[in-house]
Each structure stands twice: as structure tokens, then as C-alpha cells.
Amino acid sequence: MEMETRPGRVWAEIDLGAVRHNVRALLHRAAGARLMAVVKADAYGHGALPVARAALEAGADSLAVATLAEGVELREGGIRAPVLVFGDLLPEQLREAGRMRLDVTVHSLAGARYMSSLPGLRVHLKVNTGMNRWGVEPEQVGEVYRLLGGRLAGVYTHLSCADWDSGFTLKQLLRFERVLGSHPFGNVLIHAANSAGTLWYTRARYDCVRPGGALYGLHPRGDAGDPADEGLRPALSLKSYVAGKRLLAAGERVSYGATFRAVRPMWVATVPVGYADGYRRMLSGKGVALIRGRRRCLLGRVTMDACVFEADEEVEVGDEVVLLGEQGEERIGAEELGRLAGTINYEVATGLNPRRVERRYVSGV
């Protein structure tokens, strides 16, 4: 690889063509329902504004974020589509949300009382159907409806295990439908399906689906499953380069703690990616990278700024290193990397440090 064209020590390549493809694939699966693209956490580490624009271009008609600041970033970036904030906001934040034309979520009776005093605020009512994290209890929905009535733009719930437990998911949907049937909500947007719900539960689709991970080609099972099996394309690659190469003699050791010991003479490559970039220290002794189209084991500990991988004589300083993504015939998925690091694909993507890992957008097809 030409030194001059390298963006930095380590960079993320984000394929917006894959995001557009995934939006279209999910809309197809949703069979007539609309799509709210979840772009919280900086679009799961992919960059909120470019992803939001790509998702809207491909057919999403609204967006969702977790925090007020994430919503404000979209508005200041020129996004005019409806944006729902999932999180619980403080009174001053609710007023700011209204000024920025962001839709908010009511999670409690106290919240509903306060929101009823803010004219013009558009509210989605979240119902707790068994996740027991956020949302109004089913018994209190009537009172919230009395307070907010015509102010409600949507009613929703969140599925806690649509990736593995169909019995519990069905129970949640039945609780949700009981609430929907008990109040005259009228013409509001009904939504429940996260990625797993969108892919696997026809019943969960209602008016609108609300996928996050699947937009980025992340499999909803987290540390298992192949996105390709669901017709999804991973959007994120993580790349670096061979910054140094050396020949170890048998018995020499590698990195902090000297945990790896060469049993025979071997070539190793130093790659400038470390845990401060979001390449997790849990990958020590377990990680894998692609160099010259072959899988190479990570030797010893991940340090703050660099790692050492096995190499061979052909590997050259400047060679591209793929830490996540494809090279030649090989691929390292976020699911695999998550499994190796004892976590899930979502955390692999959201955990990259944008102050160190430059993002490069490619448009794909």
C-alpha cells in the first residue's frame, strides 16, 4: 500500500452503499410498514449524519436517537425528517427538544404531567411490556393518555429477546396489543420491532419498524450468526497497516507481560492499533487480523497503541491490515471479533474511539 494514501494509523471504512442496501432489505422484510432508522450512539459508531442521510435516501422516513444531544446533532446537520428521542429527558431538555422539533418519549406519569404543560411537543408513549427498563406500566397508560391525548404521535414498546425467545416475545406483543385495544389512540404511529423483530416477527411490524444494528449489517444475535444469511451487508471495516516487521529467535517474547513466547524463529508484524482506539484488550492472545489475504494470530497483549501479529517473510512494512472486514477471500465479522473479545458486535462497533479512528466513507453500490 502507498504510504501517502494511508489515512492514518488506523481507520474505519464505512460503506454507505451497504447501509442503503440494508434499509431496502429491511423495508422489503417489513412488507408495507415504514422504517425508523435507529442512529443513536453516533449511528452505532458509523457516524450519525452520513448514515442518517443514506438511510433516508434509501427509504427510511424517520430517525431515532437515545439522547437530546444526538437529536440536536441531526437537526444542526440539516436533517428535517422526524427524529424520536428514546431517552428520559429532564424538563429543560424537553423544552429544548420542542424548540428543535424533536419528538420525545414519555416514560412515566410524572413525565406526562410535565409534558402536558408544553404545547407543541410531539410525544411517543412507550409501554413497558416486560423489558422492565423504560416505559409506562400498562395500568398507567390510561392516565397518560388522558393527560396527553391529542399530543401523542406514537405508541411503542421494546422487545427484550426477539433474537432468541419467541415465547416471551409473543407475550410482550400480546401485552402491547391489549394496551392498544384498551384506549382510543386514533391515528398514531404504532411500533415495536427492533432488528430481530423486523427480521423474524411479522406480527411485530405494525405501522413502522425500528431497526438499529441490522441497518449496519450487524447480526441481531450479537456474537453469533452471519448477516449474509439475513441478506444484510456489513457496513464497517477497520483497517491499519504493518508499521514494523522483525524476526524473532526461538524463546523470544512479545508485548507487555511477555505472555507470548516464540517456540521457533518467526516473523512478526507490529500494527498501530490498540485498546485506546477501541480494539479491545480482551483480544490479547485471541485476536486475529488479515494480512496479504491470510488470517494472522494476535501475539501477546493488546497495548494502548499497538499490537503484534504473526507474519511471514513476504509481509512488508506498509501492507494493509484488516482488523474487521474482508481481504481477499477472508473475512472477520464484528460477530467473530465480539465473540473473541467476550462481547457482541454492537459493542465492537460503538466502542471504536472516533478521536483516534478516522472514518472514511465509501459509497458502494
Ligand X SMILES: Cc1ncc(COP(=O)(O)O)c(C=O)c1O
List residues near ligand X by CB under 6 A.
38, 86, 158, 194-195, 210-214, 220
Residue 29 Cβ vs ligand X, minimum distance, rounded to whole Å: 13
Q: Closer to ligand X at the Cβ: 208 or 242? A: 208
Query: Residue 220 or residue 227: which is nearer to ligand X going by CB?
Result: 220
Q: What minimum distance in Å lies between the beta carbon of 361 and ligand X?
A: 21
CA-CA distance, 25 to 167, in Å (whole number)? Answer: 26
How far apart, in whole angstroms, are the C-alpha atoms of residue 105 and residue 87? 7
Active-site position among 114, 239, 241, 256: 256
- Kindly tell me which of 129 and 255 has the beta carbon lying closer to ligand X: 129
C-alpha to C-alpha distances, 164 to 161, 191, 260, nearest whole angstrom: 6, 20, 38
CB of 158 to ligand X, least distance (A): 4
User: Is the separation of the CB atoms in 289 and 332 below 8 Å?
Assistant: yes
Cell of 241: 497497516
Q: CA–CA distance from 12 to each of 102, 108, 279, 312, 326 (Å)?
A: 30, 39, 12, 25, 13
Is 256 noted as a catalytic residue in this protein?
Answer: yes
Let me know if 126 is a catalytic residue: no
If you ran DSSP here, which 8-state letter would residue 285 be given? T
Q: Which of 40, 114, 216, 275 is catalytic?
A: 40
CB of 86 to ligand X, least distance (A): 5
Using CA atoms, how far apart are residues 148 and 141, in angstroms rounded to an integer? 10
Which residue's Cβ has the minimum distance to ligand X? 212
Neighbours of 80 (CB within 10 A): 9
Q: For residue 244, count other CB atoms closer than 10 A to its CB.
A: 12
Angle at 10 between CA 300 and CA 65, to 5 degrees: 110
Q: How far is the CB of 196 from ligand X (least distance, A)?
A: 6
Of residues 228 and 247, the one with the C-beta less far from ligand X: 228
Q: Which is nearer to ligand X, 163 or 319 (CB)?
A: 163
Q: Partners of 190 in the beta sheet?
A: 155
Active site residues: 40, 256
